[in-house]
Amino acid sequence: MVAMLITGILASLAIPSIGAMVRRADAARVVADMSAIRVAALDYFAANGTYPASGSAGTVPGTLAPSLPRGFSFRYKTVTYRWRRFGLPRGLPSSPGQTVLEGVEVATTDRKLMAAITSALRGRFAFGGPTRITFVIE
């Protein structure tokens, strides 16, 4: 009985930690995927002098596909990615010649996972809400 009690106590302490570790690992995967998308976009920019047009959620833009790893998907578990370009409204400060922001939109229904992703990307410029955030790459 004592051994079962001790095992039960240890299990009750370990189970929540396992969930948090899995969430952090998923967040690390999403950050790595975003890095791959960023590198592909910069590669496209280097070759064409402009960034690719916005794509649809969960679909790899055809212009980025050649620069991404083979079999790369714009989905991971409950997370979908979308390449986005945003025009800046008139009157906002910007770098010389910069009229567009480029970024990767990350969407998931899992708020805890989104919090872990946001935490993993400390210091990067982002905007959005609790289930959909766009991380600006340039």
Q: Is the pLDDT of residue 97 over 70?
A: no
Model confidence band, residue 85 (pLDDT cutoffs 50, 70, 90): confident
Q: Could you tell me the pTM of the whole model?
A: 0.81
pLDDT at 122: 74
Predicted confidence band of residue 91 (pLDDT cuts 50, 70, 90): low
Of 72-86, 93-107, 124-138, give the lowest mean pLDDT range: 93-107
Greater pLDDT, 21 or 137? 21
Q: Classify 117 as helix, strand or coil.
A: helix
- Cα separation of 115 and 136, whole Å? 17
Give the sign of the dihedral formed by CA 32, CA 36, CA 41, CA 47: positive
Query: What mean pLDDT comes out for the span 81-103?
Result: 71
| Cα–Cα distance for residue pair 108/130, rounded to 1 Å | 9
pLDDT at 56: 93
* Per-residue confidence (pLDDT) for residue 17, from 0 to 100: 82
